[in-house]
Amino acid sequence: MTAPEEEIVRIHSSSGTTGLPVIIPYTAKDVSDWAVMFARCYETAGITNLDRIQITPGYGLWTAGIGFQAGAEKLGAMVIPMGPGNTDKQLQMMMDMKSTVICATSSYALLLAEEIEKRGIKDKIHLKKGVIGSERWGEKMRQRIREELGIELYDIYGLTEVYGPGIGINCRYETGMHYWDDYLYIEIIDPVSLKPVPDGELGEIVITTLVKEGAPLIRYRTHDISRIVPGSCPCGSKYPRLDIIMGRTDDMMKIKGVNVFPSQIEEILKEFPEVSSEYQIRISHLDGRDTMRLYVETNGSVDFLDLARRIAGTVKSRIGFTPLVKVVELGLLPRSEKKSKRVIDERYE
């Protein structure tokens, strides 16, 4: 904490790499700056003070809910501060209040989309846009949410250590997330050598805050993998762009001596149109060796065994080991109101 204690008006918390909470102090100016950045995010997404913004992420020590709300209030839009869970009430309020914008994790947005479809209430839903954050999501999930809800989707970026969500968002051209370089200086480094990489190359996002008072950061390693998008955006914005988050440096799994990232599995599953957006990886240590079980969903009109064999063969040829693939019917994998748990490592349980 660098500001005097009497100037600290709020704290938020995130869990660090050790699992211990990291306390982040905010001055009144930090809170105000964050609201300004978040309002910019809404404006970049074409959201105005005529919209009705339903907020489903959690409040409290987590930065998400209160950040979405502060930005909406700065914009002058109506806020429907639902918080997480209680899907029945979420949908009822969505219909009663004629919400036009939904703010959610991708996992919960998908759950809501599936529930709206099941209940046959799509004609009573007035959503036009979704602002999605807090977890990485693949193209298949993006397509499902967009098509099932019939809305425009916007990736919002942020982390508690650096204000919270609202430090960047994509515009309607979907060519990357504009970030606010009057508040932040962003670099991309090689996570091994720690040296900067050229614009356009993937690496780890490193952030320096320029005006933060409560807990300023210098070259903070986020562990998020992305790249600087070179050139100008068709939207004409003066703000630079980050690509969508590709993964995290600490997402890596080591299986049979092979380094594997969930994003690699997602890229393979994209090639199978009969597979839905949902998957789960379970890693076990059986009979003295590591085993990866990959669960995927499909609609039931395909040969499950043949699909499992083809997916396993593709993983083997691309990554170097053969997983045990289990194909299940659509909707059988768990859904989450927060973040989906894609990888469960049972080796250390």
Mean pLDDT of 257-285: 84
The average confidence (pLDDT) of the chain is: 90
pLDDT band at 288 (very low <50, low <70, confident <90, very high): low
Q: What is the pLDDT of residue 215?
A: 96
A 10 A CB-CB count for 89 gives 10
Q: What is the pLDDT of residue 17?
A: 44
Cα 68 to chain centroid, rounded: 14
246 and 263 Cβ atoms separated by less than 8 Å: yes
Does pLDDT of 91 surpass 70? yes
Q: What is the pLDDT of residue 116?
A: 96
Does pLDDT of 3 surpass 80? yes
DSSP tag of 122: G
Does pLDDT of 61 surpass 80? yes
A 10 A CB-CB count for 2 gives 11
| Cα 99–Cα 103–Cα 109 angle in degrees, nearest 5 | 95
Q: How far apart are CA 311 and CA 318, in angstroms?
A: 11
Nearest to 276 by CA among 159, 142, 186: 142
Structure confidence by residue, pLDDT tens digits, 17-52: 445 778 999 999 999 999 999 999 999 999 999 999
pLDDT band at 321 (very low <50, low <70, confident <90, very high): confident
Q: How far apart are CA 316 and CA 324, in angstroms?
A: 11
pLDDT band at 257 (very low <50, low <70, confident <90, very high): low
Nearest to 91 by CA among 132, 50, 126: 126
**CA–CA distance from 303 to each of 148, 189, 269, 279, 324 (Å)?**
25, 44, 16, 18, 16
95 and 121 Cβ atoms separated by less than 8 Å: yes
Nearest to 38 by CA among 18, 8, 68, 11: 68
Q: Which of 10-14, 204-208, 253-257, 262-266 has the lowest mean pLDDT?
A: 253-257
Number of H helices, E strands in the chain: 7, 21
Q: How far apart are CA 224 and CA 186, in angstroms?
A: 12
Mean pLDDT of 255-281: 83
Does pLDDT of 9 surpass 50? yes
pLDDT band at 334 (very low <50, low <70, confident <90, very high): confident
Mean pLDDT of 277-298: 83
Structure confidence by residue, pLDDT tens digits, 216-228: 999 999 989 999 9
Nearest to 294 by CA among 321, 324, 262, 264: 324
Q: How far apart are CA 101 and CA 115, in angstroms?
A: 17
Q: What is the pLDDT of residue 18?
A: 44
Does pLDDT of 79 surpass 50? yes
Q: How far apart are CA 170 and CA 23, in angstroms?
A: 29
Domains of the chain listed by start with CATH number: 5-249 (3.40.50.12780), 252-345 (3.30.300.30)
Structure confidence by residue, pLDDT tens digits, 112-170: 999 999 999 999 999 999 999 877 677 778 888 999 999 999 999 999 999 999 999 99
Q: Which pairing describes strands 203-209 and 220-226: parallel, antiparallel, or unpaired? A: antiparallel
- Name the β-bridge partners of 169: 156, 178
Sign of the Cα torsion 188, 189, 195, 197 reads negative
